[in-house]
Structure 1
Amino acid sequence: MSILSILDIGKSGITAQRLALEVTSQNVSNVNTPGYSRQSTVFESGTVSMERGFPLGNGVQVAEIQRAYDDFLQQQLKNESTTNGQAKTVLSSMNRAEQLFNEFTTDGLGKSMQDFFKAWQDLTANPQGQPERQAILARAQQLTDQFHRVNGYLNDIKTEANKSLEGITADVNDKVTQIASLNDQIRQVEVQGTKANELRDKRDLLVRQLSQKVGITYLEQPDGMLNISLSLGQPLVLGKDAAQLSLQPDPANGGFYKVLTTPPGGTATIDITSIVGGPNNSQGEVGGTLQVRDTLVNKFISNLDELAYNLATQVNAVHSAGFGLTGSTGLNFFAAPAAMAGYSGLGGIAVNITNTNDIAAADTNPLTGGTGNNKNASTIATLYDKTLPFSSGSTTLEGFYNSIVGNVGVAVQNAQRGQTLSDGIIKQLDNLRESSSGVSLDEELANLIKYQKAFEGSAKLINTGAEMMDTILGLVR
């Protein structure tokens, strides 16, 4: 081995340690960067050559800049992010719905029902009393207003959920476009034989963020590109091409949006509403939003309609058979329901009686001997505790309302439980990822010292070689 070989070995050491210091510096500077994976320098000995019959190395070289990455953890984070996005979306809406169904001790719908039937009970004590009759009309108006208020607020939740799809789908489009662009960049870098570590980190982070919006699966191709599809197979990213989601009002669903996609590289749009928001595959924020809009809130509105329908039908049946103070009969107390659907909203349940004299408290005509008769009022007052047929089984008006309150509470608890569990799992997975792929400042500072010393050693080797060369040149002179 010549003195020049010594200089070359020293040069290789300086080059390799300098690169290792650069990698360590990159780790330290990105210690707080979301999604960044720790990188490490992998060294290998230079090519061995024979020198006077002995195998001697020719310095050191960097074999690879390795990224600390665990695809299994990435898959788990992706899956749990999808669950978390769905749970958070549902919980937010269910918390709002829960506020509508207050206990009977407050001024909610349940209390209004109690007050309405109590007013009829008060009328039985003085069937001809105008104050008592005025109280019935006032309580009836409060009751119908409460039905309208709750129905309107539930429909507002649906409308806002529908509106939120605009922002969510725009975010999905942005992320799949970025992923497709990163795919192309990664391919161009890695075709040269190097690893695009930082670009892969950015892409992995985008994949996790995308999975929070919608349920996805992915598969890496041999050229480093990542193909991404919806959970049920519809492609979102194919190589450097990305799909584009769009929204279109659906007349068959009250004008609410249906979700469409233009496949990567395609032109024809496909309706994927059932794919991203079906009963058994509501995933991510898109799925949670569609679940709230098309399933959960509709169930509450349907129950509310049924409660209003049965209440009005039962009161009307008794009231129309009774007599008012002036002999009026055959009058419905509430607007007659044309259908159950939508009856709790505006245009549905309403007070049909405007004249207090038309309130049918008697079961016989007061003009023919029924003065002071309170039997009809008493019958209406008992309707509150009467067992009636409902879709869920026979129960009282109070019992059915309590079941609605219970269903809302169960929906909130399920969403809360799902989010709490998901938050805990994500936190645990993040900790696992941090331990395997995160940057440890203590470790990196130790590496800085190690590589610095190796750099100084290589520099010292070059100085020694240079001194040896000077000695030989001095002998020649």
Structure 2
Amino acid sequence: MSGLFSTFNIATRGMSAQQKALDVTSHNIANANTDGYSRQKANLETTRPFDMPSMNNAMGSGQLGTGVQVSSITRIRDSYLDYQVRTQNGTKGSSEGREKFLTEIEGVFNELSGTGISTLVDNVFNSWQALSGSPEVASTRNVVAQQSKALTDQLNSTYNQLVKLKGNSQDVIKQDVVDVNNMLNQINELNKQVIGVKVGGNEPNDLMDKRDLLIDQLSVKFGITIDKKSLSGEDLKPTDIGDMTNAYLVKSDPNDKVSRFSYVNSIVPKAVPPASTVQKPGDAGSYDVTYYKNGDTSTDANKVTITMDLTSAQYTSLDQSRVLWADSDGNAIKTDGSLIVAGDAFNDLALFIPKTGELNGYMSVQADIDVYIDQLNSLAKGIAFSVNAVESGESDASNDTLEFFVNGEDKTKEQDITAGNITVNQDIINDVMKIKVGVNDTTGSTDGNRALAIADLRDVKLDIQSIKPTTTRAEFLSGKFNVDATLGVSTISSSSNGMTIGGYFTNTVNDLAVKTQTATRNVTNNESLLASLEESRSSISGVSLDEEMANMIQYQHAYQANAKIISTVDELLDLIINGLKK
């Protein structure tokens, strides 16, 4: 019904609605710099009018409005831009993960300084060249020994730093597993709260913002897929699920099972006495695989060890990925969701290997580190085999009584030389006159032909790229070791498909430089694209202080106008009530 009291109620509703709109504006301004906050809007609509049309009042004057109310407070969000940003987050995360460690590998090789391996290789051959000119001088022999020792020390240091760097990348993966599981638990709790608020008929805008921010952060780790459910619930799973039957990490239904991730902390060869040979990491054999539930290494209660047989390829796959699918308690599971138990094989393990995100970058860079370690080992073996063969005149290590380069861990096992254990024979360092430099293979020979033949090795193309961990000197030199008619000593002939020692290492460094430049370029491009997407999203969801100030003035004026109506109605009521007494 109409009347002054009806007008009074309309104005009261108007003041209340404008006040709520001011509250929303104030909330927007307060969170203008809050990460993940989405601008909110108070949606105003008219309240139910009087005199709804019916058969009884068809001839009436029509509906009479009763004012305004806030129908809802919604957040401004574009789900498609969210999808694009999260997809780009994964791409950028992968590039950044690779670039971070590839840059560190470049620092390990240190080729821009004067102490890099390339420089030291040149110094070694230069010292042999100088020795060929004055083989009778002890000081030139000492220079050969010390320059060679400097090279092996640098090879040892580079190898150990690469191994440490690989361990660092695995530590980052372990921390990412912990962070991912924590984020998933938070998202799951927020999911429940969002649904609870929606059931009550309200809009959980701030809760959904917090959930979206966590999902944005999660998308940096790996690609994600989101299924929208009723009451604003969300089901979340990785984009790359492999053969997993239940790949969901978050479910809107609290009764549904979800998965988590666990971290493989160590893969140790299992000693099975009596052992005729020592099983090295990477060899096919039996291993103790130890993982920690949810990546939490703070207590041994989370430690689980499984014994299984691994091929060399399976060892490499497990070593480079390290992340296992697990149930909500962190127990490793198979692809069908059942638990891994004693006696299960490698193929029963469900490895999580994403194709995008930081985890992908950290996993893929381990393969690069392994390649550079292998190439460094091949370089060390190539140097040792070739110098030892010419210096001793023997193509078979079993006939060499005084090797120049030896395995520092066991000098009787030249075939096991790596960049990590290569060193100069201590007997030669103690007595440099034992270095064989002349045609006569005795240490007392004073002509420099043998030293010259070793110096000439810098230009010989060797099959270094074909060296394997099990390659022996005899296999390496097969068909290529013969007497040089000019020098009168045994030397190595070039291989048509071979590479010089310097060229081989230069090729390794150049390959690293190309990969690093590619990763850096990808990071720059991805950052630019992500910045553009985030700017587009911010233009929609972000808070504009100018716009909020304009809204504030608009709501303020509307509030004042409604207050003026109440004041006017008050005067009219006073006139009616008190004026009629006169």
Both proteins in one fold, TM over 0.5: yes
CA distance in 2 between counterparts of 1:376 and 1:342 reads 23
| Alignment CA distance shift 1:459-1:207 (3 Å) | same
- Structure 1 residue 433, shift from structure 2 partner: 1.5
CA distance in 2 between counterparts of 1:274 and 1:113 reads 45
Alignment of 1:334 with 2:405, yes or no, is yes
Deviations 1:94-122 (A, max 9, x none): 11111232347611111111111111111
CA distance in 1 between counterparts of 2:400 and 2:233 reads 79
CA distance in 1 between counterparts of 2:30 and 2:514 reads 47
Pairwise mapping of residues 424-443 of structure 1 onto structure 2 (< 5 A)?
Answer: 424-443=528-547
- Structure 1 residue 378, shift from structure 2 partner: 1.2
Aligned to 2:382: 310
Aligned to 2:84: 76
2:332 to 258, 269, 280: 269
Report if the CA contact (8 A) 1:104-1:110 is conserved. Answer: no
Pairwise mapping of residues 120-135 of structure 1 onto structure 2 (< 5 A)?
Answer: 120-135=128-143
CA distance in 2 between counterparts of 1:381 and 1:33 reads 66
CA distance in 2 between counterparts of 1:142 and 1:473 reads 108
| Alignment CA distance shift 1:141-1:379 (3 Å) | same
Aligned to 1:235: 248
Q: Return 125-134 or 24-33, whichever deviates more.
A: 125-134
Aligned to 1:377: 451
| Alignment CA distance shift 1:444-1:31 (3 Å) | same
Identity of aligned residues (%): 31
| Alignment CA distance shift 1:276-1:461 (3 Å) | same
CA distance in 2 between counterparts of 1:329 and 1:462 reads 110
CA distance in 2 between counterparts of 1:96 and 1:292 reads 11
CA distance in 1 between counterparts of 2:416 and 2:219 reads 36
Alignment of 1:473 with 2:577, yes or no, is yes
Q: Gapped runs of 5+ residues in structure 2?
A: 53-59, 242-246, 269-280, 283-288, 290-318, 336-348, 467-496
Alignment of 1:397 with 2:501, yes or no, is yes
For residue 251 of structure 2, what is the amino acid of its counterpart? L
Deviations 1:59-78 (A, max 9, x none): 11112212110111111111
Report if the CA contact (8 A) 2:325-2:352 is conserved. Answer: no
Aligned to 2:440: 364
Report if the CA contact (8 A) 1:308-1:349 is conserved. Answer: no
Aligned to 1:42: 43
| Alignment CA distance shift 1:181-1:371 (3 Å) | closer
| Alignment CA distance shift 1:202-1:371 (3 Å) | closer
| Alignment CA distance shift 1:140-1:81 (3 Å) | same
Aligned to 2:264: 248
CA distance in 2 between counterparts of 1:329 and 1:186 reads 76
Secondary structure of the corresponding residue to residue 208 of structure 1: helix
Alignment of 1:33 with 2:49, yes or no, is no
- Structure 1 residue 388, shift from structure 2 partner: 1.4
State how many pairs are aligned.
464
Report if the CA contact (8 A) 1:232-1:275 is conserved. Answer: no
Report if the CA contact (8 A) 1:16-1:62 is conserved. Answer: yes
Deviations 1:132-176 (A, max 9, x none): 111111111111111101101111101111222332222212211
Deviations 1:289-344 (A, max 9, x none): 22223x0111110110111111111112211218xxxxx97532212695877711
Pairwise mapping of residues 72-221 of structure 1 onto structure 2 (< 5 A)?
Answer: 72-103=80-111, 106-221=114-229
1:259 to 323, 343, 350: 323
Report if the CA contact (8 A) 1:212-1:285 is conserved. Answer: yes
For residue 315 of structure 1, what is the amino acid of its counterpart? V
Aligned to 1:325: none
Deviations 1:332-379 (A, max 9, x none): 221269587771113x45436523232121223569xx9533222111
- Structure 1 residue 194, shift from structure 2 partner: 2.2
CA distance in 2 between counterparts of 1:113 and 1:202 reads 57
- Structure 1 residue 242, shift from structure 2 partner: 6.1
Alignment of 1:284 with 2:357, yes or no, is yes
| Alignment CA distance shift 1:329-1:185 (3 Å) | closer
CA distance in 2 between counterparts of 1:246 and 1:415 reads 28
- Structure 1 residue 228, shift from structure 2 partner: 1.4
| Alignment CA distance shift 1:121-1:445 (3 Å) | same
Aligned to 1:422: 526
Q: Return 336-345 or 183-192, whichever deviates more.
A: 336-345
Higher helix share: 1
CA distance in 2 between counterparts of 1:311 and 1:211 reads 46
Aligned to 2:470: none
Report if the CA contact (8 A) 1:215-1:276 is conserved. Answer: no
CA distance in 1 between counterparts of 2:108 and 2:183 reads 36
Alignment of 1:460 with 2:564, yes or no, is yes
Aligned to 1:319: 391
Q: Gapped runs of 5+ residues in structure 1?
A: 323-327
Report if the CA contact (8 A) 1:176-1:242 is conserved. Answer: no
Q: Return 68-77 or 350-359, whichever deviates more.
A: 350-359
For residue 270 of structure 1, what is the amino acid of its counterpart? I
Aligned to 2:511: 407
CA distance in 1 between counterparts of 2:441 and 2:506 reads 37
Report if the CA contact (8 A) 1:175-1:206 is conserved. Answer: yes
Report if the CA contact (8 A) 1:361-1:374 is conserved. Answer: yes
CA distance in 2 between counterparts of 1:104 and 1:54 reads 88
